[in-house]
């Protein structure tokens, strides 16, 4: 996988984030735990740091997927980070720690301790987490990020981000509309970010067209193919993703995803329905 370099400014983070990352890295190293960056900050790496595209939505939270294969190891990690590294527990959500400046850090465990795509841990507030797709994204391969020449860690691929955000929205659609907004942002800029890869690996999608949205449509199908290469690792995950997209491509009147996309951009539900269908088609081509 590729390796990239960036700085705090490009990620819209302040230098104090470095102290927090050092504390986390000491904890991960102490317990021999692998991890990777996910969520909106991973999106910022791809869009802002690598491609100089400023996403519409900002966030102060930092999210990490944390590989846990031994029962109790996650609790030991959190206990160490609180007692030795200056983090504070967040009593409303046991998967969140607060750094000294109040910044939220989400540590989302996945691995052999999960059951049916869920993690249950001891704690207060939210103690059950849906982690469908985390393992498959990890196993598909991850690029590496070097931050300020001081920190090196893995981060989520763009197809992985889209996959995880789609599933996260489906788990809690009433509060996760921002995930669909992020997917929309990625979809509309995907060709700009990965045109060379699309020409190299998806050249069959090109042809003569006077459609002003042609490249965006090519991007949607090629992105779907990349998502499909991840979800094909799990029959249940593949079936779930296809079910989500089928539910949201039946009718413009019932597509909650297309409605969020249209509302976020001022476009039409019908146009986003078409992009969702192309995303679905791309997944089917590689996941089936």
pLDDT for the residue numbered 58: 77
pLDDT at 59 over 90: no
Closest CA to 36 of 141, 163, 148: 141
pLDDT for the residue numbered 157: 98
Q: How far apart are CA 40 and CA 204, in angstroms?
A: 31
Task: Give percent of the chain above pLDDT 90.
Answer: 80
Q: What is the DSSP letter of 266?
A: T
pLDDT for the residue numbered 287: 87
pLDDT for the residue numbered 16: 79
Residue 241's pLDDT band (boundaries 50, 70, 90)?
A: very high
Q: Residues 251, 195: contact at Cβ < 8 Å? A: no
pLDDT for the residue numbered 122: 81
pLDDT for the residue numbered 56: 83
Q: Domains of the chain: which residue ranges?
A: 3-156, 169-287
CATH code of domain 3-156 = 3.30.460
How does pLDDT run across 155-176, given as a tens digit for each residue? 999 999 999 999 999 999 998 9
Q: How far apart are CA 281 and CA 10, in angstroms?
A: 34
Q: How far apart are CA 211 and CA 217, in angstroms?
A: 9
pLDDT at 273 over 90: yes
Residue 229's pLDDT band (boundaries 50, 70, 90)?
A: very high
How does pLDDT run across 22-41, given as a tens digit for each residue? 999 999 999 999 999 999 99
């Amino acid at each position: 996988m590729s390796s990239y370099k960036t700085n705090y400014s490009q990620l819209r983070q302040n230098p104090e984030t470095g102290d927090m990352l050092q504390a986390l890295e000491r904890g991960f190293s102490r317990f021999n735990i692998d991890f990777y960056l996910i969520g909106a900050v991973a999106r910022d790496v791809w869009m802002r740091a690598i491609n100089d595209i400023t996403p519409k939505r900002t966030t102060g939270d930092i999210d990490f997927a944390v590989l846990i294969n031994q029962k109790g190891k996650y609790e030991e990690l959190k206990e160490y980070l609180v007692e030795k590294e200056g983090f504070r527990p967040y009593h409303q959500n046991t998967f969140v720690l607060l750094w000294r400046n109040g910044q939220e850090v989400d540590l989302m465990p996945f691995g052999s301790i999960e059951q049916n795509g869920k993690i249950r841990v001891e704690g207060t507030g939210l103690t059950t987490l849906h982690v469908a797709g985390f393992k498959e994204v990890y196993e598909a391969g991850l690029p590496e990020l070097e931050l300020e020449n001081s920190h090196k860690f893995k981060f989520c691929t763009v197809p992985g981000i889209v996959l995880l955000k789609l599933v996260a929205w489906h788990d809690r659609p009433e509060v996760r509309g921002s995930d669909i907004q992020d997917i929309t942002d990625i979809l509309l800029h995907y060709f700009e970010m990965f045109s060379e890869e699309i020409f190299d690996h998806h050249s069959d999608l090109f042809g003569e067209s006077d459609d002003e949205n042609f490249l965006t449509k090519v991007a949607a199908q090629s992105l779907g193919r990349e998502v499909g290469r991840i979800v094909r690792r799990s029959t249940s995950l593949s079936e779930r993703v296809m079910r989500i997209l089928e539910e949201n491509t039946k009718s413009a009147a019932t597509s909650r995803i297309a409605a969020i996309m249209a509302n976020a951009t001022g476009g039409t539900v019908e146009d986003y329905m078409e992009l969702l269908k192309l995303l679905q088609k791309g997944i089917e081509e590689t996941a089936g």
